[in-house]
Amino acid sequence: MEFENYLSFNKYPKILPKEVLIPSWLTELDRIDLRNSILCYGKGKSYGDVCLNEDGTLIDTSNLNHIIDFNNKTGIIKCESGITLKEILEFVVPKGWFLPVTPGTKFITLGGAVANDVHGKNHHSAGTFGSHITEIELLRSDKVTYKCTKDVHSELFAATIGGLGLTGFIKTVEFQLISIETPFMYVENIKFENLDAFFDLNEESEKLFPYTVSWVDCTTKGKKMGKGIYMRGRHATKSEVNKSFEMKDGALPFPIEASFINNLTVKAFNKLFYSKQFSKLSTQIVPFEPYFYPLDMIDGWEKAYGKNGFLQHQFVLPYDNCKKSLHQIFHEIVNSGMSSFLTVLKSFGEVDSPGMLSFPKKGITLAIDYRMEGEKTLKLLDKIDDIVAVNNGSLYPGKDARMSREHFHKFYPNFQEFLKYKDPNFSSSFYRRIK
Amino acid sequence: MIKNIYVFGATSKIAEETLKNYAKDNANFYLVGRDIHKLEIVRKDLLARGAGKAEVEACDALDWEKHSITINNADKTIGQLDLIYIAHGTLPENEGIRNNQMKVIEEFNINCTSVISLCTVASEYFESKGKGTIAVISSVAGERGRQSNFIYGSAKGGVSKYLEGLRNRLFEKGIKVITIKPGMVDTPMTKDFKKGLLFASPASVGKQIYKGINVGRDVLFVPGYWKLIMGIIKSIPESIFKKLKL
Ligand SMILES: Cc1cc2nc3c(=O)[nH]c(=O)nc-3n(C[C@H](O)[C@H](O)[C@H](O)COP(=O)(O)OP(=O)(O)OC[C@H]3O[C@@H](n4cnc5c(N)ncnc54)[C@H](O)[C@@H]3O)c2cc1C
Ligand SMILES: NC(=O)c1ccc[n+]([C@@H]2O[C@H](COP(=O)([O-])OP(=O)(O)OC[C@H]3O[C@@H](n4cnc5c(N)ncnc54)[C@H](OP(=O)(O)O)[C@@H]3O)[C@@H](O)[C@H]2O)c1
């Protein structure tokens, strides 16, 4: 197989393009014939088929990784779309800046972050990545480059954020960074007994911490169904880390040494905020990387699922009726015995997503990996989708390989409006499946 | 301390990744290459990353007369040079050109003659200043002629041999000559290759080159294991080697 490297992260479905173009420079794009059907491919860290284009053309953007402009006073940065979040972090963190929003891996491109309008542990406080974009330069098949902002070509801007790569070639992205005092995180890990306890803990934590996420157990039945570990955190301050700590270029203090951790401040903070009803596991100051990107440290973990690959399934349920429907879904999952080790539970907040097709909306979101066992797996997921649909929830296209056309249209009522801005020559296997 | 840097072939991915490290040190750059638009992209990137000054000039490797002019312009624009870094190159499809006389001459001119021409004017420049560093990207392909790649390989071999002598000659004048020998690197040059385990990323190669230049190594295999691999390949007796399909 000639293009076997151009699959998605979970290696399912196994469909290949007819050709792959790898432009080395942004200036070469003018020479590329944007003929039907074409699609950009970032790092293929999507699960499913949003980044696949069976028998079509893929444009691999990985060489387009230059920084175009950076203002150290305002924290506004403009880059080519193929730059990875890893490269951006290496550059900005030593200067005291951080990504406004980051998904659970840093090996994705900026273009991919826009096209799936990615969310992170701080959704309840910061919204999606798209909320922090100030400008997108979009090349369309009419050979015109559109500079899109909230005010200029605003519809194209909104269609491109979360637009699943279907509105054209994102050439550059300008966005706002957030400032940090240290490259460390203050983190509290707390155990919760079951789903109901999660809701209580979450309500408290959302108010106190910009970053929250939980790992839940999807295998235990009964009273302890949905037990898990709640992780809440924020960027650590200088005084928490060490008075003598200085942000400086090129010299990140990794791996962190014990002397950096100032236990007194940690304890004081704890006394103030720790609620008695939950048993605390630990309070730590950790470097940002293991906190945000634990999976990036386990090279090739996804291969553990074997050659058939696996599926990830992520839905959101609005708060109304959410507890009940979550229970229902947990029953389905637990009884099927099919869920695997990676199960992430989190709440989405108020901040509206700027994209027409953005996935996040206020409520609770659950992301689960399932080994691909054919019909059995697909049936379970269809069942869950039905519950999600009845309760006005939605599913993440960036992590989908199988949702039905009917469900997609129910989940994304803006789709017809979106189609006005879709580029006629851009298409994907996902698009052809759900259109 | 390397502060003012002249680069020929500044749009090479390996060169760019090397320069990113120098940008962090706030170095000044004079970027030479044949495509002004690409040079402009590199210039902005380096400025964003902390470069003091960055200027560009277009020059084709085969434009012999212009070689010394660009070095003089660099000196005038960014100040006395500390490093002249030569990175350009092309990787021809050996089988396709080996019987094409004009193509072979052209490849030799780009990968060998133009490099020696640039080194000649660079030596003259640094000799007049009494100090400086010349760093040149050659290749592990220059270590031994192989049927699959001997036109590129012999051009790079010529460069490596020339630099050996130049280093010897300039040693007593306090001028450093550094031969960089990358193995396989994932760059536009190797776009159509299937990427196996031995491929290194340009970012890691660039960083190793940066470190190697700063400590003033004479010969730099990047990544380092290529020294071992090429050592083995060189040790095979010619009577056996000529029968191998390498
Ligand atoms: C371990 C892991 C954890 C993750 N955690 C999260 C998470 O917490 N939150 C979250 O939201 N997601 C998460 N994801 C999903 C991932 O962040 C998204 O799928 C992301 O979009 C992948 O980016 P990519 O660069 O790999 O793009 P690809 O997967 O290659 O492509 C994704 C989409 O972007 C489009 N695209 C890429 N570049 C361009 C461009 N230049 N112009 C136009 N369109 C373009 C493609 O056409 C495609 O539609 C995770 C994935 C993994 C593997
Ligand atoms: N990649 C590898 O595996 C590998 C291994 C060993 C050694 N090398 C050597 O490393 C160096 C850098 O290569 P790379 O891997 O970084 O590849 P690259 O990104 O393709 O860079 C090659 C550079 O050479 C320039 N160039 C080619 N012909 C030229 C000419 N006539 N005049 C001026 N500039 C010219 C190109 O300019 P344009 O941008 O204008 O085309 C480009 O900047 C080369 O010397 C190469 O031989 C590479």
B191 at A interface, C-beta within 8 A: yes
Compute the distance from residue A112 Cα to the ligand 1 centre, in Å.
4
| pLDDT tens-digit map of B113-125 | 999 999 999 999 9
Residue A125 has pLDDT above 60, yes or no: yes
**Residues of chain B positioned with their CB less than 8 A from the CB of A26:** 41
Q: How many helices and strands (H and E) does chain A possess? A: 13, 20
State the nearest Cα–Cα gap between A188 and chain B, in angstroms. 35
Residue A338 has pLDDT above 90, yes or no: no
Region B9-18: mean pLDDT is: 98
Dihedral angle over CA of A268, A271, A272, A278, nearest 10: 140
Q: Are A209 and A215 in contact (CB under 8 A)?
A: no
**Amino acid A339: pLDDT:** 67
List the single best residue of A3, A62, A65, A66 to mutate versus B (max B Cβ within 10 A): A66
Alpha carbon nearest to ligand 1 atom 28, residue: A44
Residue B43 has pLDDT above 70, yes or no: yes
List the single best residue of A22, A24, A64, A248 to mutate versus B (max B Cβ within 10 A): A24
Confidence tier at A407 by pLDDT (50, 70, 90): very high
Least confident of A164-173, A174-183, A342-351, A385-394: A342-351
Confidence tier at B18 by pLDDT (50, 70, 90): very high
**Residues of chain B positioned with their CB less than 8 A from the CB of A68:** 41, 44-45, 48
Ligand with minimal distance to B61 CA = 2
**Residues of chain A positioned with their CB less than 8 A from the CB of B24:** 249-250
**Residues of chain B positioned with their CB less than 8 A from the CB of A88:** none
Q: Which two tokens stand for residue A189?
A: 């890990």
C-alpha–C-alpha distance, residues B74 and B89, integer Å: 21
| pLDDT tens-digit map of A233-270 | 999 998 888 744 555 443 343 333 333 334 444 444 33
- DSSP calls for B55-79: EEEE--TT-TTHHHHHHHHHHHHH-
A249 at B interface, C-beta within 8 A: yes
| pLDDT tens-digit map of A179-231 | 999 999 999 888 888 899 999 999 999 999 999 999 888 878 888 888 888 99
| Pairing assessment for the beta strands A133-139 and A169-176 based on DSSP bridges | antiparallel
- Among candidates A5, A22, A26 on the partner chain, residue whose Cβ is nearest the Cβ of B41: A26
State the nearest Cα–Cα gap between B204 and chain A, in angstroms. 12
Cβ-defined contacts of B75-78 (< 8 Å, 24+): B75/B125, B77/B30, B77/B53, B78/B4, B78/B28, B78/B29, B78/B30, B78/B53
Q: Alpha-carbon torsion A101, A401, A168, A409, what sign? A: negative
Region A266-283: mean pLDDT is: 50
**Which domains, and CATH codes, for chain A?**
184-402 (3.30.70.2520)
Find tokens 């309500």 and name the residue: A203
| pLDDT tens-digit map of B78-111 | 999 999 999 999 999 999 999 999 999 999 999 9
Residue A274 has pLDDT above 50, yes or no: no
Region A419-430: mean pLDDT is: 98
Least confident of A184-193, A197-206, A334-343, B216-225: A334-343
What atom of ligand 1 comes closest to residue A43's alpha carbon? Answer: 26
State the nearest Cα–Cα gap between A66 and chain B, in angstroms. 6
CB contact under 8 A, B45 and A68: yes
**Amino acid A269: pLDDT:** 39
| pLDDT tens-digit map of B143-183 | 999 999 999 999 999 999 999 999 999 999 999 999 999 99
Nearest CA in chain A to B191: A22
**Amino acid A245: pLDDT:** 52
**Amino acid A341: pLDDT:** 60
State the nearest Cα–Cα gap between B188 and chain A, in angstroms. 6
A70 at B interface, C-beta within 8 A: yes
In sequence order, what are the beta bridge partners of A199?
none
CB-neighbour burial class of residue B165 (10 A; exposed 0-12, middle 13-18, buried 19+)? exposed
Region B20-46: mean pLDDT is: 97
State the nearest Cα–Cα gap between A47 and chain B, in angstroms. 23
Among B20, B13, B110, CA closest to B60: B110
Q: Which residues contact A137 (CB under 8 A, 6 or more apart)?
A: A145, A146, A147, A148, A170, A171, A172, A173
State the nearest Cα–Cα gap between A21 and chain B, in angstroms. 10
C-alpha–C-alpha distance, residues A119 and A358, integer Å: 10
Q: Which two tokens stand for residue A22?
A: 């790898």
Alpha carbon nearest to ligand 1 atom 4, residue: A104
**Residues of chain B positioned with their CB less than 8 A from the CB of A22:** 188, 191
A338 at B interface, C-beta within 8 A: no
Region A321-348: mean pLDDT is: 87
In sequence order, what are the beta bridge partners of A260?
none
- Among candidates A24, A25, A67 on the partner chain, residue whose Cβ is nearest the Cβ of B48: A67
Region A153-169: mean pLDDT is: 98
CB contact under 8 A, B188 and A63: yes
User: Where does A127-194 have alpha helices with state H?
Assistant: 154-160
Compute the distance from residue A333 Cα to the ligand 1 centre, in Å.
26
A300 at B interface, C-beta within 8 A: no
Residue A309 has pLDDT above 90, yes or no: no
Q: First vs last Cα of chain B: how many Å apart?
A: 42
Q: Domain extents for chain B?
A: 4-241
Q: Are A425 and A34 in contact (CB under 8 A)?
A: yes
**Amino acid A222: pLDDT:** 87
Region A52-80: mean pLDDT is: 97
Least confident of A11-15, A101-105, A362-366, B113-117: A11-15
Region A410-425: mean pLDDT is: 98
| Sheet with A67-71, edge to edge strand ranges | A67-71, A76-80, A169-176, A133-139, A145-148
**Amino acid A306: pLDDT:** 72
Least confident of A52-61, A114-123, A172-181, A284-293: A284-293
**Amino acid A99: pLDDT:** 98
Q: What is the mean pLDDT of chain B?
A: 97
Out of 3.90.550.10, 3.40.50.720, 3.40.50.970, 1.10.645.10, select the CATH number for domain B4-241.
3.40.50.720
At residue A113, what are phi and psi to the nearest 5 degrees?
-65, -35
- Among candidates B24, B37, B38 on the partner chain, residue whose Cβ is nearest the Cβ of A249: B24
Region A403-407: mean pLDDT is: 97
Confidence tier at A403 by pLDDT (50, 70, 90): very high
Confidence tier at A318 by pLDDT (50, 70, 90): very high
Residue type, B135: A
Q: Which residues contact A234 (CB under 8 A, 6 or more apart)?
A: A185, A186, A209, A210, A211
- Among candidates B24, B49, B188 on the partner chain, residue whose Cβ is nearest the Cβ of A67: B49
Region A4-9: mean pLDDT is: 92
C-alpha–C-alpha distance, residues B218 and B179, integer Å: 6
C-alpha–C-alpha distance, residues A9 and A107, integer Å: 11
Helix axes A322-336 and A195-208, enclosed angle (nearest 10): 130
Ligand 1 pocket, residues with Cβ under 6 angstroms: A 9, 39-46, 50-51, 61, 81, 103-105, 108-109, 111-113, 115-116, 118-120, 164-165, 169-170, 295, 398, 428
Confidence tier at A340 by pLDDT (50, 70, 90): low
**Residues of chain A positioned with their CB less than 8 A from the CB of B35:** 27
User: What's the pTM?
Assistant: 0.92
